[in-house]
Amino acid sequence: MAVKFLNSMLRDPGFWRLRATLQQLALAAVVWVLLPSLSLFASETDRKVLIRDVTQIQGVRDNQLVGYGLVIGLSRTGDTQQTFFTVQTLANTLQRMGVQIAPGVVVVKNVAAVFVTASLPAFSRPGMKIDVTVSSVGDAKSIEGGVLLLTALRAANGEVYAEAQGPLVIGGYTEGGSGNVKSVNHPTVGRIAEGGIVERDAAVDLSRFRIVSLLLLNSDFTASRDIADAINKEFGKTVATSLDSRRVDVNVADAGALSVPILISRVQNLSISFHTPAKVVVNERTGTIVMGGDVKLSPVSVIHGSLTIDVETAHVLVQPAPFTNGKAEAVTETKLTVTDAPAQSIQLEEGANVDELIKGLHAIGATSHDIIAILQAIKAAGGLQADLEVI
């Protein structure tokens, strides 16, 4: 009897449809259970970063240049006569051009003394153009519309590496006078796009490199190890060595690359897993709080309350009594109001992050400055599992 029932059920198409439906539901349940762990695994494996984005090559860097010069052509907004070095610079410039003047008798308002700064990129060659920034040194009101005279730009060794000249472009202005002045941004700082021309070769000879040193932008032993492992895996042998948390050395001869630039390009395009540092940075002046996503908290309870004291002072005129010869007198009355708000508390469980703490503090009405003080107190109590930096 049981065999006949089983055979009839197997021949029924509805049974097979029900069986397929149950299998799909079971598979969906398994996926639903494993989905959080799968998404967590994907988020961990997808956090990749190129080596070029977290390192720089030792010896390949920019160099800072600075020069002193004059801006001319101002509309009576230049340095005053009290800024004597401007007049001396103008006199020396005219003297080199064959014009002899006495600095003490020169009165000009269309000239301003300036410092010129620029950044000399790596592998700069003579003839390349660079941007320069011009900043007033004296008491000029504005350098808008001025032209920078030819100025030599020197590096830290005193050598001239570039020359700058040209009309200024500024991002601000000053209008008005007699105490009614409106100023926008900084009219005493200007910029000349491609206003500097490189005069000295500052290129690094990469052909002399026997070791290419990768310097991590942020000190991290784990990242240093991962970079060395990724390079060794790429070349199939040990060519890179992690020296410390900042430096990874790659042996050029062992890598067997055709040239150092090709080796650097190949290395820089490798990727490593990115580990977010557990760090919280707070700015007490602006109330800004920036935190990493991996910052965790130990179980902590925060109690926050506020005490407000208002003191109001008023002057009251007291009239004399009737039929007296007294005079009205001013009497100062002081009113003191004390408001003590009840303390509010929040509790965080093990593994809570700073985002949950911030939301809880906002819920009880804490300001950004209150939050900074609370974070410092939690760090002092050992409840903040991260580096707290106050700037």
Q: What are the tens digits of pLDDT across the range 210-221?
A: 999 999 998 889
Model confidence at 3, pLDDT cuts 50, 70, 90, reads very low
Query: Of 238, 262, 259, which Cα lies nearest the Cα of 248?
Result: 238
One DSSP character per residue, 317-338 reads EEPPPTTS----EEEEEEEEEE
Its sign, for the CA torsion 374, 376, 378, 380, is negative
- As to burial, measured by CB atoms within 10 angstroms (0-12 exposed, 13-18 middle, 19+ buried), residue 332 is exposed
d(CA 43, CA 243): 30
| Mean pLDDT within 268-272 | 93
Q: How confident is the model at residue 388 (pLDDT cuts 50, 70, 90)?
A: confident
128-171 confidence digits (pLDDT tens): 999 999 999 988 988 988 999 999 999 999 999 999 999 999 87
Residue 390's pLDDT is what?
81
318 and 329 Cβ atoms separated by less than 8 Å:
yes
**Pairing, β 129-136 against β 112-120:** antiparallel
| pLDDT tier at 311, thresholds 50, 70, 90 | low
Contact in structure between 187 and 141 (CB atoms under 8 Å)? yes
Cα–Cα distance, 343 to 372 (Å, whole number) = 18
Amino acid letter, residue 358: I
Give the Cα separation of 187 and 78 in Å (integer).
11
pLDDT of residue 38: 39
What's the alpha-carbon Rg for the chain, to the nearest Å? 36
Q: Look at residues 94, 89, 88, 87 and name the one whose alpha carbon lies nearest to residue 69.
A: 89
176 backbone φψ class: left, alpha, beta (φ>0; ψ -120 to 50): left
Say if CB 114 and CB 90 are below 8 A apart.
Answer: no
DSSP state string for 98-133: T----GGG---SS-EEEEEEEEE-TT--TT-EEEEE
> Are 206 and 219 in contact, with CB atoms under 8 Å apart?
no
Give per-residue pLDDT as tens, 24-83. 554 444 334 444 443 444 444 447 899 999 999 998 989 999 999 999 999 888 888 778
Q: Which two tokens stand for residue 363?
A: 């819920």
Phi and psi at residue 62, in whole multiples of 5°?
-80, 165
